[in-house]
Structure 1
Amino acid sequence: MDISHDDRTVMTLDAGGTNFVFSAIQYGEQVVKDIVLPSNALNLELCLKTLIKGFEQVKAALPNEPAAISFAFPGPSDYKSGVIGDLANLPAFRGGVALGPMLEDHFKIPAFISNDGDLFAYGEAMAGFLPYINEQLCNEGISKKYQNLLGITLGTGFGGGIVVNNQLCEGDNSAAGEIWAMRNFKNTRLTAEEGVSIRAVQRVYSEKTGIEELHTPKDIYDIATGKTEGDQEAALFAFDEMAIAIAESLANAITLIDGVIVIGGGISGAYSLIADKILQHMNGTIENVSGDQMPRLASKVYDVEQPDLLKKFLRDNVKEVEVPFSGRKVTYMADKRIPIGKSRLGTSKAIALGAYAIALQKLSDKTSVNL
């Protein structure tokens, strides 16, 4: 699916606890300037009316009729039915709110609601990191093409999304890609998210320094990189601890998915501090009961943000063989390899394009079924 050549328009929303940001996308590009309205998170009726008002303003600004509404909304939710559950940052949503059906009844068009981690992954698969990797391979004359992607977001929480054979894996219970709930590698009584989040970096730095005042992750990053004064050793340790928690979660997940890995979210700005430790762990070893060591993964992981590793990913151990009985030659990768890197779109844009792409796919699926 090439979203840049589709003329259908989809209205979108960036739903935050403080503000709702409404817009619309056509041909894979934003076509309406952001419309920002307060979320009114404490008053359900006012919040729902705000959602209708925002989409009404977007619709009024469009030159043509929208085909659908599609956006990410916090969970827990039954995304397939469009029913929102009990939300932490939008407390008015308690006991189940049929948000999707409400919007469909009002606007008389399909409304698709998804998890932000899912849409981030789908956006990167359709228009970001996945096509970037395949383009690099094609430019080198390598016929291999990746179709699977694991996307993670690092920020307030630890989000994830899975794309298999270019299809978003939503799960039977709208609960696929919930990487946050994996067991924490360093403290097995905790979730992975307790080691991979803003609060995790803050907590570890505070514990290491004995300073009760919480620094922002940006402050800790600046201390770690020597831009500002502070306990640099403790700051580096905080990011190392997070990197190990990320790496073990990725190792467990990618063992089942076998595809490219893309990292987004606010803390991905510290990618340079965590990438080497992630690679070291994922390319490390594991043992059997006899103590025999073996590679942690069946595939080797390459950080394509590092030019030398990108070059090795593209060319190292690429072989040419003759096709029997023809004399024709083909190239192939003689080993298994997984590229890992940063979002090519930026997290917000990836989520928006993911919402656009999933709406186009579902609209097409509905048309096919009706035919």
Structure 2
Amino acid sequence: MIADPKLLGIDLGGTTTKFAIMRPQGEIQQRWSIQTDVLNDGNNIIPNIIDSINHHLQLYQMSAKQFQGIGIGTPGSVDYQTGMVDSAFNLNWDRPMALKEQIELHTNIPVQVENDANVAALGERWLGAGKNADNVAFVTLGTGVGGGIIINGQIVHGQGGSAGEIGHMTINPQGYRCTCGKRGCLETVASATGIVHVARDYAQEYAGDSELKASLDNGDDLTAKDVFDLAKQNDPLALKVTHVVCDQLGLALSIVAVTINPQYIIIGGGVSNAGDFLLQRVRESYNRYVFSSVKKTTTLTLATLGNEAGVIGAASLILNK
């Protein structure tokens, strides 16, 4: 038995890779981050992670023997047998990369690899809004829309690893074209880019007085945050746009709720920073669409861990193992 065992959580992102050394109880002892170097076809990423781990263990006068394991959350498709990662296009990994094998080889610490949306779900479930409940669904609203589903404390992968792809649920068959090739995915309206798309679309037909419309007509660079900020100031076009977004999200989450009836559905990602304004409106739509007995047992809530969900969830992979 290791005395005072440590976990190392790694959140591998397209711009930054975050690291955290934790105790099994969930206390973060050390944290740092490095830039993710996606140049050279992403071939520098794994060596940079290995160098950073070994450098920091030396710095903190720690050895590989003190660690129960390393958990890594990564974009792309994960082969859960081998720890290979493929199709992580924002890392320039368009071919299988031996993430687990390479890091184990050069650190002498066992490694678990998981999809990044799933580790964020695990983090929120363990130390965040999920309050360590057995059954939790997590939806992250960022550049895209991701998700993770936890049943009986375990991430659900599904037959091909695509369970929890909430962003690609079709909510409007006549809707916008998605990057996946389908029409009307949740991602096309509820992601940060989707919200701006809805705003541009509605602005074209909107004839009233609106700061949002004036900005869009001006060709200003607008973000989802701008749309929600204007809605909070009662801008009529922004209110219309946020109504559409929250309605579609409430519909999608009502389908998740009736399918798995989790204790919590947690909304995270950058868009969730709109806070109670977002949650209240999504709840109104959700309550309208959801099956009544599910309404009594599934609670909609906002994520609480922010950017730390990834490293915390990654570290928890070792405990779950």
**Structure 2 equivalent of residue 368 of structure 1:** none
| Partner Cα separation in structure 2 for residue 60 and residue 176 of structure 1 | 39
| Partner Cα separation in structure 2 for residue 161 and residue 238 of structure 1 | 26
For the residue of structure 1 that corresponds to 2:43, the secondary structure is helix
Work out whether 1:265 is the aligned partner of 2:269.
yes
Tell me how far 1:153 sits from its aligned partner: 0.9
For the residue of structure 2 that corresponds to 1:34, the secondary structure is strand
When normalised by structure 1's length, the TM-score is 0.73
Judge conservation of contact 1:126–1:354 (CA < 8 Å) in 2.
yes
For the residue of structure 2 that corresponds to 1:173, the secondary structure is coil
Judge conservation of contact 2:251–2:285 (CA < 8 Å) in 1.
yes
Write out aligned runs for 1:281-300 (5 A).
281-284=285-288, 296-299=290-293
Instruction: Output one character per residue of 1:303-328: Cα deviation in whole Å (capped at 9) or x when no partner.
Output: xxxxxxxxxxxxxxxxxxxxxxxxxx
| Partner Cα separation in structure 2 for residue 281 and residue 59 of structure 1 | 49
Judge conservation of contact 2:10–2:314 (CA < 8 Å) in 1.
no
| Of 135, 138, 153, the match for 1:166 | 153
Q: Which moved more, 1:62-71 or 1:161-170?
A: 62-71
**Structure 2 equivalent of residue 8 of structure 1:** 5
| Partner Cα separation in structure 2 for residue 220 and residue 255 of structure 1 | 30
Judge conservation of contact 1:243–1:278 (CA < 8 Å) in 2.
yes
Work out whether 1:350 is the aligned partner of 2:309.
yes
Judge conservation of contact 2:86–2:95 (CA < 8 Å) in 1.
yes
Distance 1:94 1:23, change over 3 A: same
For the residue of structure 1 that corresponds to 2:140, the secondary structure is strand
Instruction: Output one character per residue of 1:7-39: Cα deviation in whole Å (capped at 9) or x when no partner.
Output: 421222222222323332224122223142442
- Which residue type is aligned with residue 45 of structure 1? N
Tell me how far 1:89 sits from its aligned partner: 1.2
| Partner Cα separation in structure 2 for residue 41 and residue 174 of structure 1 | 28
- Which residue type is aligned with residue 196 of structure 2? Q
Instruction: Output one character per residue of 1:333-356: Cα deviation in whole Å (capped at 9) or x when no partner.
Output: xxx432111113x23222222111
For the residue of structure 2 that corresponds to 1:39, the secondary structure is coil
- Which residue type is aligned with residue 195 of structure 1? V
| Partner Cα separation in structure 1 for residue 198 and residue 13 of structure 2 | 27
Instruction: Output one character per residue of 1:57-89: Cα deviation in whole Å (capped at 9) or x when no partner.
Output: 232234352221112100133244211112221
| Partner Cα separation in structure 2 for residue 147 and residue 20 of structure 1 | 29
| Partner Cα separation in structure 1 for residue 149 and residue 188 of structure 2 | 21
Tell me how far 1:117 sits from its aligned partner: 1.9
- Which residue type is aligned with residue 236 of structure 2? E
- Which residue type is aligned with residue 266 of structure 1? G
Tell me how far 1:186 sits from its aligned partner: 7.1
**Structure 1 equivalent of residue 69 of structure 2:** 68
**Structure 1 equivalent of residue 180 of structure 2:** none
**Structure 2 equivalent of residue 359 of structure 1:** 318
Q: Which moved more, 1:111-120 or 1:261-270?
A: 111-120
**Structure 2 equivalent of residue 205 of structure 1:** 199
**Structure 2 equivalent of residue 105 of structure 1:** 105
Work out whether 1:20 is the aligned partner of 2:17.
yes
| Partner Cα separation in structure 2 for residue 35 and residue 166 of structure 1 | 28
Write out aligned runs for 1:101-140 (5 A).
101-131=101-131
For the residue of structure 1 that corresponds to 2:82, the secondary structure is coil
**Structure 2 equivalent of residue 238 of structure 1:** 241
CA-based RMSD of the aligned residues comes to: 2.3
| Partner Cα separation in structure 1 for residue 96 and residue 199 of structure 2 | 38
Judge conservation of contact 2:8–2:67 (CA < 8 Å) in 1.
yes
Tell me how far 1:115 sits from its aligned partner: 1.6
| Partner Cα separation in structure 2 for residue 171 and residue 190 of structure 1 | 23
When normalised by structure 2's length, the TM-score is 0.83
Distance 1:206 1:56, change over 3 A: same
Instruction: Output one character per residue of 1:147-182: Cα deviation in whole Å (capped at 9) or x when no partner.
Output: 311111111111111111222223343222111111
Judge conservation of contact 2:77–2:161 (CA < 8 Å) in 1.
no
- Which residue type is aligned with residue 272 of structure 1? D
- Which residue type is aligned with residue 199 of structure 1? T
| Partner Cα separation in structure 2 for residue 202 and residue 55 of structure 1 | 39
Tell me how far 1:106 sits from its aligned partner: 1.8
Write out aligned runs for 1:147-166 (5 A).
147-166=134-153
Instruction: Output one character per residue of 1:267-308: Cα deviation in whole Å (capped at 9) or x when no partner.
Output: 1011333323322322225xxxxxxxxxx414353xxxxxxx
Judge conservation of contact 1:80–1:174 (CA < 8 Å) in 2.
no
Distance 1:279 1:18, change over 3 A: closer
For the residue of structure 1 that corresponds to 2:139, the secondary structure is strand
Query: Any unmatched runs of 5+ in structure 2?
Result: 176-182, 205-215
Judge conservation of contact 2:78–2:113 (CA < 8 Å) in 1.
no
Judge conservation of contact 1:42–1:90 (CA < 8 Å) in 2.
no
Distance 1:31 1:155, change over 3 A: same
Q: Which moved more, 1:7-16 or 1:94-103?
A: 7-16
- Which residue type is aligned with residue 155 of structure 2? L
Larger radius of gyration: 1
Judge conservation of contact 1:22–1:54 (CA < 8 Å) in 2.
no
**Structure 2 equivalent of residue 288 of structure 1:** none
Q: State, as a whole percentage, how many aligned pairs show the same letter.
A: 26
More helix by share: 2
Instruction: Output one character per residue of 1:241-273: Cα deviation in whole Å (capped at 9) or x when no partner.
Output: 221221121111111211111111111011333
Higher RCO by CA contacts (8 Å cutoff, separation 6 or greater): 2
